[in-house]
Structure formats: C-alpha cells, structure tokens
Amino acid sequence: MTNKVTLTQFIIEQQREFPGTSGSFTALLNDIATACKKISHIVNRGELIGVLGSAESENIQGEVQKKLDIITNDIMVNALNWTGHLAGMASEEIDDIIKIPSHYPKGKYLVLFDPLDGSSNIDVNLAVGTIFSILRCREGIDADLQDFLRKGSEQVCAGFVLYGPSTMMVLTTGHGVNAFTLDQDIGEFILTHRNMRIPEETAEFAVNMTNQRFWQPPVQRYIAECLQGTEGPLGKNYNMRWIASLVAEVYRILTRGGIFMYPLDSRNPAKPAKLRLMYEANPMAFIIEQAGGVCSTGRDRILDIKPTDIHQRVPLILGSKQEVERVVGYHLEG
C-alpha cells in the first residue's frame, strides 16, 4: 500500500529544509486545517441543520450576508484566537482587524481570510470555499492596522479550501503549489496533487458577461477576439466558464488552464472593482504565480500593490501566462 503523506507531514518535511524553525507555522496550518474541516462538515450538512439562507445583515462591503458567512467566520476566529501563534487576524466579514484576546499569548503571524468565498452559491448547492493568507509579524505584539497593510509579495503562505464533491486544500509556502484531499475516513488532508503547474496556453475564459457593456476597451477587445474563434486573430475556439466562486474558478485553472477576469467596470462608479485585495486577490496571486501563471490588475502585478485599506478592492485578471499577458498588453497599448 502506498504511504499517504498528510498535510502535517508535508509541512514538517518542508520546514526541515530551514534549520531553526520553531514549529509554530506547522501548528498554525494545522489549526487552519481543523477549522476548515469543521466548515466542510457544516457546508455538507446544509439545510439538514438549518444553516442555509440569508442572515438579514450586511458585511463591511454592503453585501447581504448568508447565515454561513457568519457561522464560518466564527469558526475561523474561534479556532485561531487562542493558539498563541497569531498577533492578529482580519476577515472579509468584519469591519476592523480582529484583536487577540488579552489573556492569550501573542505569536509572530497574521492571518487574513475570506471564511466562505462564493457564498451566493450555497443555496443552490454549488462549490464554495475558504481563502486564507499568512503574513509574518513582530512576535508578542498586539498587531495594529499598519501591520496588515503589506504587499502580497510579503506573504509567507497562501491557500484555499474548496468544498465541492471532495474537500481539497490548495497551498503554497513559496515553494510551488500542492493540493491535499480530505480523507473523510481518517479526518486528514492527504497530498494528492504535487507541484501543480498551469498550462501556459488555454482555450477557456471565465468572466461575467452580463457586465460586458461596462468594461474598458482592452477587455472588450480580448473577449471579442475570443468569441471570433478560429476565424479571429487568436485562431482558436474558446469555451466560457463562470461559476461565480473564485475558489472553484482558480482550482479549474490550476488543473487545466484558463483565464479568469473580474476587470474594472463602470457599472457603479463608487465600486469600480469587485474583489478584495487582502482576502482574495493576494492569496490567489501567490498561488497562481507559484504554479507558473500570471496575476494582474490589467496594468500592475497584484503582488506589488501596497494596500491602503484592509478592505481595498482591485480588478483581477489571472491564469495561463500567455492569455493574461495578452490582456495586459492590450491595457498597456491603451
């Protein structure tokens, strides 16, 4: 029987390459994994335990929260705030940064998370997920806002957990991208996809076409060329995919290539961009680049952006290298 490599074993073996590590990072990832196992169980139970539907409240972005948005946020906070590994947390669902209670020790990491990405899909039984990002911090302090406002290139780890037909964790610590599948029989994440790489070319795009009339000319041009198929300048037929769940879109791109776009649009001048830099764009950019892809706003590398707000929004274009670079080129021409 083939020896199965657990998430814990994989992280420990990676850390052995860097003598002097304390083991705190491994323990933190285990705590995140435990929280995501709990979320997986609740998502799987759904209406059987009455957790579907709207919570009749809004988050900081003015979006209507689902019951599971609140429940999963509480699971993440309660799994991490007591551990001694963190100096602070930030959640897409909470206005301000989350302080570690004064009676718990403070660690040397910060965690930012979207506890339930794609929650609009939950009531129709489509894939959702949890996204997380880890930053280093001065050990023992009570972190403030400025400690969080760091470029994505400073992340020490990023990952997401996809709650689909199987529960999977996709993870990078800056040494490639690996995926782990939750073995429900033993309650462990098992390494199933080692060193994932995104194909450089693709014939698949994911974008919300209902916003087409609000896009800027470079994106209009690229999608028009895709739709022309073999008769157009790109010389091939494209398929369109749109799940409205970033975790599902990125996992598909990691496994078979493609391009995902949520570009700038003029539909609502107060909110020209949709996705959050700290909770969605940065962690996904780290993963995508480590898998050989490209992640951009259309003009700037996502990981080079210096945040100015914990809930800052950015346009997001990511995926196979040749396709993203083509869209970026169209932006630069303009």
pTM: 0.93
User: Which residues 6+ apart lie within 8 Å of 178 measured at CB?
Assistant: 10, 170, 171, 172, 191, 193, 194, 195, 196
pLDDT at 1: 45
Q: Which pLDDT value is given to residue 64?
A: 53
Structure confidence at residue 121 (pLDDT): 75
Say what the pLDDT of residue 319 is: 98
CA distance 75 to 77: 6
Report the pLDDT value the prediction gives residue 63, as an integer from 0 to 100. 57
At residue 37's C-alpha, the angle toward residues 31 and 38, to 5°, is: 95
Is the distance from CB of 163 to CB of 115 less than 8 angstroms? no
Q: Quick check: helix, strand or coil at residue 296?
A: strand
The per-residue pLDDT for range 217-236, each reduced to its tens digit, is: 999 999 999 999 999 999 99
| Alpha carbon 326 to chain centroid, angstroms | 23
CA 191 to chain centre: 19
Residue-level pLDDT at 57: 54
Low-confidence spans in the chain with pLDDT less than 70: 1-2, 18-22, 46-66
pLDDT at residue 150, rounded to an integer: 97
Cβ atoms of 48 and 124 closer than 8 Å: no
